[in-house]
Amino acid sequence: MGSGLRERVLKELSEAEVLHLRELLRRLNTSISTLKPVLAEMEEQGLVERFSHGGYTFYRITSEGRGFLMQIQSEAQQVKEREGFEELGGKPEQTTSEKDEEGGNFNVSLS
């Protein structure tokens, strides 16, 4: 459920440490009906912790949540690197310099 939203929640909480529910809604630009089920699931999984103070609801990231965030960020980086590598045909692009008729240089792709 809402894996992109879960990552955004974890990022916000990792940067702010503790956030009031209303501030979290504002930062994520989402509705309470969208966010509440995601937060409840994340709380059940031990990724975030909910607590009340003075009648207000706050959330903070847990150590499990920090570990999960680091894992998904690492996986995302690996995917980006792999996709970038595949865009090059699975090998680094090779170029060579050639001279045009006027003697100016230009690059030619060898792949």
For the purposes of burial, counting CB atoms within 10 Å of the CB of 26, is it exposed (0-12), middle (13-18) or buried (19 or more)? exposed
Of 80, 38, 46, 93, nearest to 65 by C-alpha is 46
Extents of the domains making up the chain: 1-111
At 14-30, the pLDDT tens digits run 999 899 999 999 999 99
Which of 46-50, 70-74, 77-81, 84-88 has the least mean pLDDT?
84-88
Name the band, by pLDDT with cuts 50, 70 and 90, for residue 77.
confident
Say how far residue 91 (Cα) sits from the centre of its chain. 27
Record: fold of 1-111: Arc Repressor Mutant, subunit A (1.10.10)
At 55-69, the pLDDT tens digits run 999 999 999 999 999
Q: What is the end-to-end Cα distance of the chain in Å, rounded?
A: 42
- Distance (Å) of CA 100 to CA 85, 93, 104, 107: 30, 21, 5, 10
| Token pair belonging to 63 | 């150590």
Which of 24-33, 41-50, 93-102 has the least mean pLDDT?
93-102
pTM, two decimals, is 0.68
